[in-house]
């Protein structure tokens, strides 16, 4: 089961965060996906419509941090990802933080080599 959580914002919308296995065969081992939506059901539907079919949110064990909420609110698509740390939490300040990327960068099919 994927770790995840949500945060309801003052305007009534939610930000959902999920740690998922990478859908790309040659991609990173796990990714942290953030979705900004009207409600939790719509957020999960957005992911399912992109091909991540078995995405479920059970509980609120790993809600989005304030920095993650800010990142997804400032992205025009409201749907971003980056590789997930091994334990889900950055433990030391010297760790380099990876930048957030749009979801299409994760789901893009590699071009065939001829």
Give pLDDT tens digits for 67-80.
Answer: 999 999 999 889 99
Residue 113, domain member (yes or no): no
Q: Give 62-108 pLDDT, tens digit per residue.
A: 899 999 999 999 998 899 988 877 654 554 454 457 888 888 777 66
Q: CA 114 to CA 101: how far, in whole Å?
A: 28
Residue 10, domain member (yes or no): yes
Q: Is the pTM of this model over 0.95?
A: no
Per-residue confidence band for 52, with pLDDT thresholds at 50, 70 and 90 = confident
Residue 29, domain member (yes or no): yes
Q: Residue 28, Cβ neighbours under 10 Å: how many?
A: 14
In the predicted structure, residue 28 carries a pLDDT above the cut 50? yes
Count: domains in the chain: 1
Residue 112, domain member (yes or no): no
What would the two tokens of residue 2 be?
């994927």
Residue 111, domain member (yes or no): no
Q: Residue 46 is part of which domain span?
A: 4-105
């Amino acid at each position: 089961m994927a770790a995840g959580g949500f945060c309801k914002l003052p305007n009534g919308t939610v930000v959902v965060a999920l740690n998922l296995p990478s859908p790309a065969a040659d991609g990173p081992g796990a990714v942290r996906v953030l979705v900004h939506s009207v409600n939790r059901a719509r957020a999960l539907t957005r992911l399912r419509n992109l091909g991540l079919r078995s995405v479920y949110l059970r509980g609120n064990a790993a809600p989005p941090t304030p920095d993650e909420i800010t990142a997804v609110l400032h992205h025009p698509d409201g749907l971003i990802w980056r590789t997930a740390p091994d334990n889900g939490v950055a433990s030391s300040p010297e760790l380099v933080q990876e930048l957030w990327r749009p979801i299409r960068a994760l789901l893009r099919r590699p071009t065939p080599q001829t």
